[in-house]
Structure 1
């Protein structure tokens, strides 16, 4: 549980020291009011070296009974198949949890975690870095101010060639799927953050490029609660040459969110108005941890609630059902 004295740093455990865990570790190091007390990593040499470097305890197993007693909060960076049991165990012990995406593979497990967090008075957040990107936050404000008028079309592309042949993300038993659950979790949550509720989805699997047991390219169409028609392209095997990863087209203007900077233009104006500085991964991760910390302290509200995290899992689950049935599948997202 959180220390009663708000001047005392929150004690954090990092569970999983892979690629994404290292980014969380770097972000946590620059976050005041936190203290890393444990790293949980089954690879002995890796875990021991990181623990020595960060002057904290190394545990080889998340089921070590010392873990919940050591920490107030944990960041889960393990493969998706492990998210549900690890998060449930920590939440039942009253430990606050920031869990990497996807929160879980199955919607029912995500719902169970949300209920467990409520029952034990613990904060549960799913890591969703794009909600904390400065350009995305500013774009949301522009949309909500009505500067684009009514948004009609939405486009998003997360497409880049990555050799997935040796990565667990392409093992369905570990990851729960392929690029759809991996990048699609980000994409669908980002759409919901910018547009509000998503009513239903229709997804199609692209022709395979890499020899993988999971999908490596997917196209997702969706309809938002407000009537926006959206298109999302996801691929580990195709490169889409575009400066913007999100574009919104409204009755009064157009907006592009880009990797190196963003811009919008209103109808009838020839000049684009730039905003933001582009995508800064570390800064987004740091803001995310700060929001998690401040939510635990009662100083802020979560940017992504447990309910939003559950809906992100439901949206991905619906997209997979759409691929199987070649049909529109409702998400039942009330916003």
Structure 2
């Protein structure tokens, strides 16, 4: 098959990274970078591709591309994705799928209608790329094998310190309560992974961390301590904070983001507990009483470490996107999956605001929080 003609919409932090994956994949061809910022033209030149200030300008100038990767600010995900889907372009939109539940539901409804009625049957995927991370895939494999026995609990961390430049214009939307905050920007990643590993979250409570930045200009939350219950009966705790020097986060532990120095095993971010063993991630160490006459704190633990193959999640996600567009695979992270993660983040925000535990029983896609 001919390579898919792909455009990148958004020339900020993540857009050029997606562009690199598109350029390196033999099944995709980068045909344009779209961004209203004048500086984006220079970025397009570096990527050796065409530049357009808007999707409308691109569609007037060149034949319609096959697919698009949307890397724009959170509050623009829905209108940009709808503009692309409306003309039959397959869309991979960065997480979160939307900046509100109402907007997310609107996008899912629109995408479903276009998939059914447009001649190209455009598909919507959401860029929760960590589902393709080798450490997460190995974790999923270990849990699915029953190696830990019956799953009991999860303890998770996403803690680091974002610099002032992260919140400077033109990305100052990140510091606003209405559009930014660590819950919708960062926690949403881990909620999606927790859903992927343990199934749906049905109850959440949250306590706000002490703010460390001046408000104003910072009105968005900086962190929270969460308690979670899953439909399976698994319980968990999770601490998220973007205002503390710490190695305990997905990026530092796995080395996924080249901008954040890797610390490896020192950056453990998940500890998973089962009836037969426990597992820490990303050092992938399993602790058990295998080989002992009984399970007892008086006996030494058996230690086993799993090897993890190396792969680049963005590259793996793009390869999957190609397969979905060609009808060779079902989406790993559908719009519905992404909206479920957003529902939980919104529930966490409600718990912060009200001081009350939020239940998410039933159809969370249609829930009113």
Is contact 1:265-1:271 (8 Å) kept?
A: yes
RMSD: 2.2
Which residue in 1 is equivalent to 2:239? 233
2:5 maps to which residue?
11
- In the alignment, which residue of structure 2 is the partner of 1:274? 305
- The residue correspondences of 1:11-90 to structure 2 (distance < 5 A) are 11-44=5-38, 46-64=39-57, 66=59, 69-90=63-84
CA contact (8 A) 1:197 1:334 kept: no
1:180 offset after TM fit, Å? Answer: 1.1
Q: For structure 1, which segment, 286-295 or 111-120, has the greater mean C-alpha deviation from structure 2 after superposition?
A: 111-120
SS at match of 1:272: strand
**2:313 & 2:362 partners in 1: Cα distance?**
26
In 2, the alpha carbon distance for the partners of 1:57 and 1:176 equals 30
* Consecutive unaligned residues in structure 1, runs of 5 or more: 1-6
Match of 1:199 in 2: 202
TM-score by length of 2: 0.82
User: Residue 245 of structure 1: which of 258, 269, 282 is its match?
Assistant: 269
Instruction: Tell me the residue number matched to 1:3.
Output: none
CA distance in structure 2 between the aligned counterparts of 1:323 and 1:303, rounded to whole angstroms: 31
Of stretches 55-64 and 80-89 in structure 1, the one that deviates more from structure 2 is 55-64
Give the structure 1 partner of residue 139 of structure 2: 139
Contact 1:117–1:124 (Cα < 8 Å) also in 2: yes
Verify the 8 A CA contact 1:172 1:178 in the aligned structure 2.
Answer: yes
Moved more, 134-143 or 175-184: 175-184
Instruction: Tell me the residue number matched to 2:253.
Output: none
Q: CA deviation at 1:314?
A: 1.1
- Equivalences, count: 323
Is this contact kept in 1: 2:8–2:71, CA < 8 A? yes
Instruction: Report the CA distance shift for 1:333/1:239 in structure 2 as closer, same or farther (over 3 A).
Output: farther
Distance 1:328 1:267 in 2: 36
SS of the residue 2:57 aligns to: coil
CA distance in structure 1 between the partners assigned to 2:65 and 2:341 by the alignment = 27
Asked if residue 330 in structure 1 is aligned to residue 348 in structure 2, the reply is no
Distance of 2:343 and 2:196 partners within structure 1: 15
Contact 2:289 2:302 in 1 (8 A): no
For residue 265 of structure 1, the aligned residue among 267, 287, 290 is 287
